[in-house]
Amino acid sequence: MKTIVHIVGTGTIGEPLIGLFTDFRDRMGVDEVTFHKRTPLASDKSRLEHLMSRGALLATDSDRVEDFERLGHKVSMTHEEALARATVVIDCTPAGNQHKEMYQALDGPRGFLAQGSEFGFGKPYARGVNDEALIAGKDNFLQIVSCNTHNITTLIRTLCHEGSDEYSLEKGVFVCMRRANDITQEGGFIPAPSVGKHDDPRFGTHHARDAHSLFTTLDRDFDLFSSAVKLNTQYMHSIWFQLGFTRDITHEEILERLKANARVAVTDKKHANVVFSFGRDHGYYGRILSQTVVVLPTLQVRGRELYGFCFTPQDGNSLLSSVAGALWMIDPDWEGVRERLSPIRRWLYTEI
């Protein structure tokens, strides 16, 4: 039996993920990488051809095969066939929840993953935050949490986890300053900062709600609150945070903890564009895979409270968790997953 990863969607998150699995499939123990593209577009031709030249196989819906072939693409199979052959399916569309019923009817794949917008698709997961919550044979549906949820939950896990089930978090408050759109996107840019309303009576915005939901998989019920504002930039999301602790903390201890986590990057750079361009110069597909980039000069301890800013490596952190989650579904042995992740570890920067 071949081990096959099938990726649905070729957008901002799908494309680099297809690239990652294709480039490193041998070292990850994957035999074949297939992907589904829905819409045949001449403007997408060059990037699809590049993925296929590296070994990824194109699948599309049966009624679109001819359209793709007319564009000059080699269609290797229909989407139906690709789903039936797949060992694991990673949905990278904003329609994962719509597709769930179709996935549930399949008996071939061992598991399915969807992305940040698809709340409720499956158990929320972020690499290194709640690995121990995944149950082999039971958690066949995972939701890879959004980029900002990765950032928030990684901060809490890194700074407040006291070992075993203990956390020293009293309360966490976050202001998510989001970029208007991704550099790959044509629409959605805004002319000026645009504030979001608090539509969740307990959590403010979905960012704190999603982070809370992830920690419920570890039986934690944290007091979290978030606000959001969209900024007229295409660079990285930034987060202002305030963490309240149940014990005394020191600046030195905070630094030690941040530096001890291989999935946390720290930086002295205060401008998002400079951190972003570090990713362009030293990343994979321009991405760093770290979960958060904490800006050291902004950290301030006041009594039992910590204040600071961090940047969110937008899709990089979701890519890492998508790969880790898929490898776990293929073989749910975390030591083995760690080993199979080794080819991409070089893009987990601890200092930027």
Taking CB under 6 A as the rule, does residue 147 contact ligand NAP?
yes
Q: Helices in the chain by DSSP H: which ranges?
A: 14-28, 45-53, 65-70, 79-85, 96-104, 147-160, 206-216, 251-260, 272-282, 314-330, 334-340
Query: Residue 39 or 298: which CB sits closer to ligand NAP?
Result: 39
Among 4, 6, 7, 9, binds ligand NAP (CB under 6 A): 9
Provide, rounded to whole angstroms, the least separation between the CB of residue 35 and ligand NAP: 9
Shortest Å distance, C-beta 225 to ligand NAP:
22
Give the interface segment with ligand NAP, choosing from 91-99, 213-221, 248-256, 275-283 (CB under 6 A).
Answer: 91-99
**Identity of the residue, 143 or 245, whose beta carbon is nearer to ligand NAP in the bound complex:** 143
Instruction: Give, as ranges, the residues between 103 and 122 that touch ligand NAP (CB under 6 A).
Output: 115-118
Tokens found for residue 339: 């080993």
The distance of closest approach from Cβ of residue 268 to ligand NAP in the complex, given in angstroms and rounded to an integer, is 25
What residues form DSSP beta bridges with 6? Answer: 34, 89
10 is a contact residue toward ligand NAP (CB under 6 A): yes
Which is nearer to ligand NAP, 13 or 337 (by Cβ)? 13
| CB closer to ligand NAP, 47 vs 198 | 47
292-351: contacts with ligand NAP (CB under 6 A): 314-315, 318
- In this structure, what token pair is assigned to residue 244? 């309240």
* Residue from the set 27, 29, 31, 39 that interacts with ligand NAP by CB under 6 A: 39
Which span sits near ligand NAP by CB under 6 A: 18-26, 32-40, 135-143, 262-270? 32-40
Nearer to ligand NAP, 136 or 183 (CB): 183
| Helix spans in 29-75 (H) | 45-53, 65-70
**Rounded to the nearest 5 degrees, what angle is found at the Cα of 114, between the Cα atoms of 243 and 345?**
65
Q: Closest approach of Cβ 90 to ligand NAP, in Å?
A: 10
Q: Considering only residues 160-179, where is the footprint of ligand NAP by CB under 6 A?
A: none
The 8-class DSSP code of residue 299 comes to -
Q: Using an 8 Å Cβ cutoff, are 245 and 168 in contact?
A: yes
200 burial type by CB count under 10 A (0-12 exposed, 13-18 middle, 19+ buried): middle
- 351 is written with which tokens? 């200092």
8 Å CB contact between 284 and 305: no
- State the CB neighbour count (10 A cutoff) for residue 120: 12
Question: CA-CA distance, 23 to 16, in Å (whole number)?
Answer: 10
Cα dist from 315 to 75, 110, 148, 304, 340, whole Å: 28, 24, 9, 32, 20
Residue pair 126/118 in contact (Cβ under 8 Å)? The answer is no
Choices 93-101, 119-127, 217-225, 300-308; region in contact with ligand NAP by CB under 6 A: 93-101
Comparing CB distances to ligand NAP, the nearer of 35 and 278 is: 35
- The nearest distance, CB 234 to ligand NAP, in angstroms, is 11
Summarize as ranges the residues that interact with ligand NAP (CB under 6 A). Answer: 9-14, 37-39, 92-95, 115-118, 146-147, 182, 314-315, 318
